[in-house]
Amino acid sequence: MKIENIFTNFIATDELTINNEAIVKLCYEKQKTSQTSIYFTGAEPEMQQLLNEITLRLNGLHKHLGLIDTAYQTVYMAWANINSNQYISIPHNHGERPNTVFSGVYYPKADEGCSMIEFMTPNNAHHHVVYQHMVKEQNSFTQSVVSIQPKTGSLIIFPSWLMHYVVPSEGKGDRISLAFNAEVKYK
């Protein structure tokens, strides 16, 4: 029997070797004037190396997934959360703007045991059909949630429509997440 995967989602991960100390310092400085998330303009010198590395990976993913050569990916929005806030612990996605195909998160600081990020299947019927007591082996068909434990330097890119949230944890280590959305631009 031929079995073909359809309607695929993905999580692309990489480890970046950049100047995290400068980004962490910038986040803590900006936190003093922010109530929840810390927003960046993209012009901050501390962010340039990170944004360049993210853009390289976004455009590699763009090509790998078969999107057109006359378009490219660019980050249009970036923000940071230190530890957690009430908004990121509620399942959400980033597909609210046209042409936003990819979103992601980078961890300039992720202490051992810090809060995990979890991704949910976009198949709303999955929870009502594939019960976990029926599952012998976790795979792309049987999983309803994928959990990732962040590490300092971890980059995760995912489809903007993919629902995700941060698992609240109390006092298990500091975590700075730098989230971003990218959009398709045409050459």
pLDDT in tens, 92-109: 999 889 999 999 999 999
pLDDT class of 124 with cuts at 50, 70, 90: confident
- The structural domains of the chain, ordered by start, are 12-186 (2.60.120.620)
CB burial of residue 98 (10 Å; 0-12, 13-18, 19+):
exposed
Report how far residue 39's alpha carbon sits from residue 31's, in angstroms, rounded to the nearest whole number: 10
**Across 41-69, average pLDDT:** 97
User: Could you give phi then psi for residue 124, rounded to 5 degrees?
Assistant: -60, -25
Give me the pLDDT at residue 170, please.
65
Q: Residue 171: what pLDDT?
A: 61
- The number of C-alpha atoms within 13 Å of 128 and in the hemisphere containing its C-beta is 3
Take residue 51 and report the two structure tokens written for it. Answer: 């944004």
**pTM (2 d.p.):** 0.93
